[in-house]
Amino acid sequence: MGIERAVEHVKRSRHLIVFTGAGVSAESGIPTFRGPDGLWRRYRVEDLATPEAFLRNPKLVWEWYAWRLKLVKNAEPNEAHRAIALLEKLGLVKAVITQNVDGLHQRAGSKRVIELHGNISRVKCVECGYKGELDELPKEIPPRCPICGGLLRPDVVWFGEPLPSDKLAEAYREAREADAVLVVGTSGVVEPAGSIPLIVLERGGVLINVNPEPNRYDPVATVNVRMTAVQFFRDLIRALKAPSP
């Protein structure tokens, strides 16, 4: 079975990294973007998640992000998030590279988290560059910068924007050093993030692909495991005889 092969590769790895997508947080009640109940089925991406959309209608964009932010604030890390943090604490996982913007890995206890697409709980000013944290939902929609009064926007990467160069470089370094990558809960179609796990393969490492549905990694993965994130990590922790997260 795929899970048994995955466990053996995890045990043998010396530099294991985890690459996560929306499927990891789906079991915390946060909708995925491309699944059957994905957010994009309710909205057109061009209306909500591009710089042009924000310039055109910042209030609409912020109403949507306020709704998403409320979901995130009310969500709790699930068993998969906690298991990844436990594996890091045990020295098995060296870094988590995530496409998620919900911060649940950090709340579960993961220390080394590389956020490729930003974080929905952070904001930045489009005028002066101020950056801050949103400890609660914005009282004003759209929110304004406390320094210059300019518009604040979510500190996330929108379609058509480049990834933060420092985070991307850090992710590439981890992928080049890794001998195994656990890819969990992602379709892998968003670039350039989706190509990062392939670097591990190209350098002779192992790619363990955990997803309940087929994705782009199926044809090349060392092991394909058809499970949800929580199912997989529950079985993995049990097989490693590690304490429950």
- Contact call for residues 82 and 31 (beta carbons, < 8 A): no
- Contact call for residues 243 and 86 (beta carbons, < 8 A): yes
Query: Alpha carbon of 134 to those of 49, 63, 112, 143, 153: distances in Å?
Result: 19, 15, 22, 10, 11
Instruction: Kindly name the residue from 9, 81, 105, 117 that is annotated as catalytic.
Output: 117
CATH of span 1-30+76-117+163-240: 3.40.50.1220
Q: What does the pLDDT average to over 85-91?
A: 96
- Contact call for residues 210 and 21 (beta carbons, < 8 A): no
Q: What does the pLDDT average to over 221-237?
A: 96
pLDDT in tens, 111-147: 999 999 999 999 999 999 999 999 889 999 999 999 9
Provide the residue ranges of all domains of the chain, joining segments of one domain with +.
1-30+76-117+163-240, 31-74+119-156
Q: What does the pLDDT average to over 95-122?
A: 97
CA distance 65 to 120: 8
CA distance 213 to 29: 18
Classify 179 as helix, strand or coil: coil
Query: Alpha carbon of 149 to those of 17, 140, 141, 245: distances in Å?
Result: 41, 12, 13, 44
At 138, the amino acid letter reads P
Q: What does the pLDDT average to over 106-110?
A: 98
Q: What are phi and psi of 18, to 5 degrees?
A: -120, 130
Choice between 10 and 135, residue whose per-residue pLDDT is larger? 10
Is 198 a residue whose pLDDT tops 60? Answer: yes
Classify 157 as helix, strand or coil: coil
pLDDT band at residue 32 under the 50/70/90 scheme:
low
pTM of the model: 0.92
At 190, the amino acid letter reads V
Residue with tokens 């950090």: 106
Sequence-separated (6 or more) residues with CB below 8 Å from residue 126: 54, 150, 151, 152, 153
Q: What are phi and psi of 181, to 5 degrees?
A: -135, 130
Q: Would residue 117 show up in a list of annotated catalytic residues for this protein? A: yes
- The per-residue pLDDT for 40 is 47
The pLDDT > 70 percentage for the chain reads 93
CATH of span 31-74+119-156: 3.30.1600.10
Is 37 a residue whose pLDDT tops 70? Answer: no
CA distance 125 to 156: 12
